[in-house]
Chain A
Amino acid sequence: QVHLQESGPGLVKPSETLSLTCAVSGGSISSYYWSWIRQAPGKGLEWVAFVSNSGFSNYNPSLKSRVTISVDTSKTQFSLKLTSVTTADTAVYYCAGDLGDSIFSLWGQGTMVTVSS
């Protein structure tokens, strides 16, 4: 059974870069499309970015200028970088996977990131 585990700092200062990693275990990282989805406190889900198993990536237009998603198949993990963060980027960040069918069958447990000085 495929397991996802997010990791990264829980606190980031405004204007700095948020970096998160999602470790994939129990399955082939190459079989899935990988996404980051976030949820601000008390709010709904917001898709941030995805990367396909061929390396194609796309980003939420509202975040596109600040986001990079990448996959490291040798380490069986994928990552998110979000630059110039503000308090509006405070959220639980989930990593998720789908088989290229837009169905998020895999979810990590989520990691809370707070942007504060």
Chain B
Amino acid sequence: QSVLTQPPSASGTPGQRVTISCSGSSSNVGSNTVNWYRQLPGTAPKLLIFTNNQRPSGVPDRFSGSKSGTSGSLAISGLQSEDEATYYCASWDDSLNGYVFGTGTEVTVL
């Protein structure tokens, strides 16, 4: 069961900016950092953004993250065809004493 809510889909044309929201609660996003993972079909998820807004080495600066209150957000600017994937947010949950993932957002490049 997913505790963090994301829109099921998002889309844009090449070059556009797409934003994905991640809604949680005080026990997870509200009191812990948000990480984002990207999953291509048939492959394992890969870390995209950590600690709300940090990019691992190798991730283009077209990807950015932010957090405000109990919600996180991922933005993809300059959308490219290779950005088609499913994106998941995740956070630690103090009540669960474990990890929680978002419901996932499938990004389509039109």
Contacts and interface: CB of A to CB of B under 8 A. Distances in A.
The answer to whether A and B belong to the same complex is yes
Interface string A81-115: 00000000000001000000111110111100000
A50 B90 CA distance: 15
Contacts of B102: 44
A46 B47 contact: no
Interface residues of B, number: 27
A interface majority secondary structure: loop
Interface string B89-104: 0111000111111111
Interface of A: 35, 37, 44-47, 50, 58-62, 94, 101-105, 107-110
Interface stretch (B11-19, B32-40, B66-74, B77-85): B32-40
B1 A103 contact: no
B62 interface: no
A104 B90 contact: yes
A47 B92 CA distance: 11
Nearest to B102: A44
A45 B44 contact: no
The 9 closest A-B pairs by CB, nearest first: A47-B99, A107-B44, A45-B101, A102-B92, A44-B104, A103-B50, A110-B44, A58-B97, A105-B47
Given A102-B33, A104-B45, A107-B45, A50 B50 contact: no
Contacts of A44: 2, 88, 101-104
A27 B25 CA distance: 35
